[in-house]
């Protein structure tokens, strides 16, 4: 299994045609190079038969046989993931990546000795020496930060990684690693958690700062409308002022206190609200007025 075609397909999802149906599963057409690939019976979709097409993930089983599965891993080859260690052996650490067969991190690919039940950010790759899918926690050698093309305010998909003194390492779009600073977090975060985030800045050294709520670098009208909507639901008054803790503002509006104050300033300037000691009140405006 040394062809480039195999290396590309192993660790990815492919759409393959069923060529043979047997008691123990289906054989799928993997082309001239891969041959027929077994989809074990326990993974066969109900009603699937010869000449049907099925989407499967391809990997090597414990006996190095190419196997198909309809299970979906948490990440695929050439992607980053935050995975939990389920076992450690003389061969290395094994990670739960959503398949029945766990993913190996060889000792040589561990930045630090991995500990059972802890989560680690890893990169999944095809090891040409062993011809297996493996993972490494030495992720930075696989990340080309120059390839990132983000702008402040861009919405991204995050996976929460490990916590450290300044905050949390996070995976950005399964391709890059960034940081969310502790003083900008107003919710409970767990390793492996998927969450939406926003690019804050990309530093000259290539490192990426991320925030979990938009700052002022976006169209504020969406937040204005949200505030007005909340006022209308609460008899025109909300008890949010300068003394309100950032956590309460985030819980209600999912934005930072800075973004909230900027939105309030915009609404006040447009005479859509009045500011009182205990909070804000919806102003009485002519019918022609709007955001």
Q: Residue 3: what are its φ and ψ, rounded to 5°?
A: -70, 155
Please name the residue that has the structure tokens 């008890």.
Answer: 239
Domain 221-282 = CATH 1.10.10.10: yes
220 or 98, which is more confident: 98
Predicted TM-score (pTM) of the model is 0.75
Q: What is the C-alpha separation between 134 and 107, in angstroms, rounded? A: 11
Question: pLDDT grade, residue 285 (50/70/90)?
Answer: low
What is the arithmetic mean of pLDDT over 59-82?
91
Edge-first strand listing for the sheet containing 119-127 = 103-106, 92-96, 80-89, 119-127, 132-136
What CATH class is the domain 145-211? mainly beta
Q: Is the pLDDT of residue 237 over 70?
A: yes
Query: Span 4-69: which CATH code?
Result: 2.40.50.140
Average pLDDT rounded to a whole number, residues 284-289: 57
Q: What DSSP character marks residue 250?
A: H
What integer best gives the mean pLDDT of the chain? 87
pLDDT at position 216 over 80: no
The domain limits of the chain are 4-69, 80-141, 145-211, 221-282
Q: Which residue has the higher pLDDT, 216 or 112?
A: 112
Please check whether the two domains, 145-211 and 221-282, share a CATH topology. Answer: no
Of residues 206 and 219, more confidently modeled: 206
Task: List CB contacts of 267: < 8 A, sequence separation 6 or more.
Answer: 224, 227, 228, 273, 280
Q: What is the CATH number of domain 80-141?
A: 2.40.50.140
């Amino acid at each position: 299994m040394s062809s480039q075609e195999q290396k590309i397909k192993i660790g990815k999802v492919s759409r393959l045609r069923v060529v043979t149906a047997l008691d123990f599963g289906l054989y799928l057409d993997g082309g001239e190079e891969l041959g027929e690939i077994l989809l074990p019976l326990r993974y066969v979709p109900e009603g699937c038969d010869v000449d049907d097409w099925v989407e499967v993930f391809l990997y090597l089983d414990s006996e190095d046989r190419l196997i198909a599965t309809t299970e979906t891993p948490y990440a695929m080859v050439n992607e980053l993931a935050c995975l939990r260690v389920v076992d450690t052996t003389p061969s290395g650490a094994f990670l739960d990546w959503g398949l029945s067969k766990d993913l190996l991190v060889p000792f040589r690919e561990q930045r630090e000795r991995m500990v059972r039940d802890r989560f680690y950010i890893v990169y999944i790759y095809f090891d040409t020496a062993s011809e297996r899918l493996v993972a490494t926690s030495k992720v930075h050698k696989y990340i080309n930060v120059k390839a990132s093309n983000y702008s402040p305010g861009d919405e991204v998909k995050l996976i929460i990684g490990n916590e450290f003194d300044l905050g949390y390492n996070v995976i950005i779009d399964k391709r890059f690693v960034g940081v969310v600073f502790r003083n900008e977090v107003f919710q409970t975060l767990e390793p492996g958690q998927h969450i939406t985030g926003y690019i804050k800045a990309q530093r000259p050294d290539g490192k990426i700062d991320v925030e979990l709520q938009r700052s002022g670098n976006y169209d504020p009208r969406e937040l204005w409308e949200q505030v007005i909507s909340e006022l209308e639901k609460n008899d025109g008054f909300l008890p949010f002022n300068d003394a309100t803790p950032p956590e309460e503002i985030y819980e209600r509006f999912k934005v930072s206190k800075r973004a909230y104050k900027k939105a309030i300033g915009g609404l006040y300037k447009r005479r859509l609200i009045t500011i009182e000691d205990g909070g804000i009140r919806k102003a009485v405006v002519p019918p022609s007025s709007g955001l």
